[in-house]
Copies of this chain bind each other. A is one copy, B any other.
Amino acid sequence: MERGILVHVQSQNRLLLGPGPSSVHPEVLKAMATPLVGHLDPYFLEVMADTQSMLRQVFQTENELTLAMSGTGSAGMETVFVNLLEPGDKVLICICGVFGERMKDIAVRSGANVLTVEAAWGQPIEPEDVQAALKSSSGVKAVAIVHAETSTGVWQPLEEISRIVHDYGALFIVDAVTSLGGIPVEVDRLGIDACYSGTQKCLGAPPGLAPVTLSPRALDVVRNRKTKVQSWYLDLNMIANYWGEDRFYHHTAPISMLFSLHEALRLLLEEGLHQAFKRHAQNGDYLQRELQAMGLQLFAAEGFRLPQLTSVIFPDKYDEGKLRKQLLEDYGIEVGGGLGALKGKAWRVGLLGHSSQHRNVTLLIQAMKQMMGI
């Protein structure tokens, strides 16, 4: 009888240095194994309230609507688009990688009228391009941009674009899936109206939840829709009533995932946001210097490189797929392959959350040198 493997006995011992999930802290794993409680248990409601409070600190916001959606980061993306947009609404999407493309796909499925601003892969979006697009098309309801483009490793500056977006009276949507917890995501200071993330990157929890925060202005838009949100599962009007004071039952929350997010946030705030950003910056810098010292080229434009996600190009003489397989099999280290135009040509190395450690960089570089005969 096909029965398979005893997962927890035979699981592999992987060091996760890809674009996510990242390896998580042992205490976070322990939290996953907490015996279950009911989703309306007074104890669990306390865990939820506490999680919301910690999420507000990490998002650097006072937003009342701050919660974790019951799906992965992409569900967070879809949540923001299907709640803010109604059929026919104009939305401007900034695209310079896979996740900008995904935003467009989701916005189109929401029935929105989608305009785009693009930049070459490896480059950030230019503020003047956003300004020009907004100038040439009136009535844009929202502008959406990826803060940390996981397909290229580009760190998108937000401040000037946010100013332009608000000058035109639009809502500012920011994808913080790979940025939250690794670099500053200053929701209130930057005037971000809707921001979403995932738990498996710099927050250091397993994949399965999508933190989301909405400004009071964005929440008003959701509360005053003319049409029902097309997704029942992601309808923030109902979900806010479960996370809010009313505690109305909507769906059964993924209890264990919330236990683990709670513990991951606790550890992050215990370290301190500032210190976590410094750690990500230092380890990213160490990795990028070492890769360049090996003669390899970084893909993201200089000055716009994320410390937590590095795209590195291999010269034609190396077979990146073979090296990546060898790294996994011989060293137990996972890195990511290139996406889109970078497929077969690049690695994406993540130093996300608990995976961002000096010794992990040292090990990876040494393993690469051994494999590449450098």
Contact = CB atoms under 8 A, between A and B. Distances in A.
Contacts of A3: 54, 266, 269-270
A230 B230 contact: yes
Interface string A247-261: 001111111110110
A4 to B, nearest CB: 4
Interface stretch (A10-18, A122-130, A140-148, A165-173): A10-18
A252 B262 CA distance: 20
Interface stretch (A67-75, A182-190, A295-303, A364-372): A67-75
Contact of A41 (B75, B269, B328): B328
A320 interface: no
Given A8-B263, A74-B233, A334-B38, A252 B200 contact: yes
Contacts of A36: 14, 16, 21-24, 200, 206
A232 B78 contact: yes
A105 interface: yes
Ranked nearest first, the 6 interchain pairs of A and B with the lowest CB-CB distance are: A208-B254, A4-B50, A33-B33, A74-B251, A32-B32, A206-B256
Given A206-B254, A208-B257, A228-B109, A35 B23 contact: yes
Contact of A263 (B7, B198, B229, B269): B7
Contacts of A263: 6-8
Which of A16, A43, A229, A252 is most buried by chain B, counting CB atoms within 10 A of its CB? A252
A56 to B, nearest CB: 9
A246 interface: no
A207 interface: yes
A58 to B, nearest CB: 13
A260 B259 CA distance: 15
A54 B269 CA distance: 40
Contacts of A70: 71-72, 75, 208
Interface string A299-332: 0000000000000000000000000000010000
A20 interface: yes
29 contacts: A2-B53, A3-B269, A4-B47, A5-B47, A7-B31, A7-B259, A7-B262, A8-B27, A8-B30, A12-B35, A12-B43, A14-B36, A21-B39, A21-B255, A32-B32, A32-B256, A70-B71, A70-B72, A70-B208, A71-B233, A72-B251, A73-B252, A74-B250, A75-B251, A108-B228, A110-B230, A198-B252, A206-B255, A206-B256
